[in-house]
Amino acid sequence: MTFEELLAYCLAKPAAWQDEPWEGDVVAKVGDKIFAFLGNGGSVGVKCGRDRDEADEWLARYPEDAHKMAYIGRSGWNTLDVGGAIPDEEILEAVDASYAAVVAKLPKRQRPAG
């Protein structure tokens, strides 16, 4: 999966939009919250669980290609390498789950209709 395909997948989500809050770091947001960090395109940072314990399941399954994110990893965020051992379908499912988790925490007025 290419960076462009992953970005297009993220932006196809209801009310998703692209931002670059830090130079060279592309993110996908819904409302005012990030649900995917796309950075340089070789990986994606997503919310992989409600807490660190749930997110650690990814690290156990894919020790070479899943990594705890700096700063926000304690809250269940991981970086998943694209093009490695993690199948593309699982990466897309992780994006879906991250999007759903972020939408669920948005104030009702910011949630996409549907």
Q: What is the pLDDT along the chain (114 residues), one digit of tens a residue?
A: 999 999 999 999 999 999 998 887 899 999 999 999 997 769 999 999 999 999 999 999 999 999 999 888 889 999 999 999 999 999 999 999 999 999 999 998 888 876
CATH class of 3-108: alpha beta
**Would the pTM of this model clear 0.85, i.e. be above it?**
yes
d(CA 64, CA 56): 13
Ranges assigned E (strand) in 1-114: 16-22, 25-30, 33-39, 43-47, 66-68, 77-81
Comparing CA positions, the residue from 67, 71, 49 lying closest to residue 59 is: 67
CA 30 to chain centroid, in Å, comes to 12
Burial 45-73 (b: 16+ CB within 10 A, else e): bbbbbeebeebbebbeebeebbbbbeeeb
